[in-house]
Amino acid sequence: MKLGILGGTFNPLHIGHVRMAIEAREALELDMVELVPTGQPPHKNAKRLLPFELRMEMVERSVKDIPGLNGNPIEGQRSGPSFTCDTLTCYQEEKPESELHFIMGAATFLEIPTWNRGLEIPSMANLAVVSRWDAADRAEDYIKRTWPEAESVSENEWIMPTGNHIRIIEIPRLDVKASYLRERWLKQRSIHLLVPDQVEAMLEEKRQEVTDCWND
C-alpha cells in the first residue's frame, strides 16, 4: 500500500489541511492518506491547544466521506512530545508492508534540520513537499545543502541512497491559518467555507470548552 501521512496540530482542522491531503493523494497516486493530529507538539506552545480527543474527532468527522482519506490517533496514544521520527518508526513497525509518504508544507520542510533526528526523516519515508515557493531552484539549493547525498531525478524530484524520494508538489494555494481562524471564531465572525462543515458544527457544539481553551 502507498500510504500518505499528514500531521498537524489541527487546531482547528481547516480546508487547507484537507485539500493538501487530497492533492497529495492524487499527485502521488496514493492508496490512502492518514491525517495524524499531534499529541504534544514539541515546537509549539500547547497552552491554547484543544484537547487531543476533540481534534481527533474533528478529523474523523471531516474525512469520513472523502474517499482515500482517514484519521489516525497514533500520536495521542503516546506520552511525551510528538516527534515525527517516533511517529514514522511506529508506522514502519505497524505497517511494514506500506510505502510511506510524509506530506508537509514547504515552510515546514525548511525547518526539518531543527527537528529531533530531522535529517533522518527522508531516509525513513518518502517526502511530499507541497510547494508555496515561486521557483524550484530554491528547493534544489536547500536540498543540496541539507542532504548532499540526494541525487536529482527531475526538476522537482530527488532520490536518497535509501531509495526514498523527495518530491515537490504544486497545488492550488489556500492561505488559511489556524491562528487566524481561532481569532475570527472568538470574535464570533464567520469561518464558513474556511473549515469543513463538520468542524464548524463541532465548534458550536463545544462552544464553551473551545472558548475557554482558545482564550487561555
Which three cell numbers mark 77? 496514544
For the chain, the average pLDDT equals: 93
Torsion over CA: 22, 23, 24, 26 (sign): positive
Which of 79, 142, 145 has the alpha carbon at shortest distance from 107?
Answer: 142
Torsion over CA: 209, 50, 202, 77 (sign): negative
Cβ atoms < 10 Å from Cβ of 84: 25
Which of 103, 4, 14 has the alpha carbon at shortest distance from 58?
Answer: 14
| pLDDT(182) > 80 | yes
Q: How confident is the model at residue 114 (pLDDT cuts 50, 70, 90)?
A: very high
Instruction: Quote the pLDDT of residue 139.
Output: 81
Tell me the pTM.
0.94
Domains of the chain listed by start with CATH number: 2-176 (3.40.50.620)
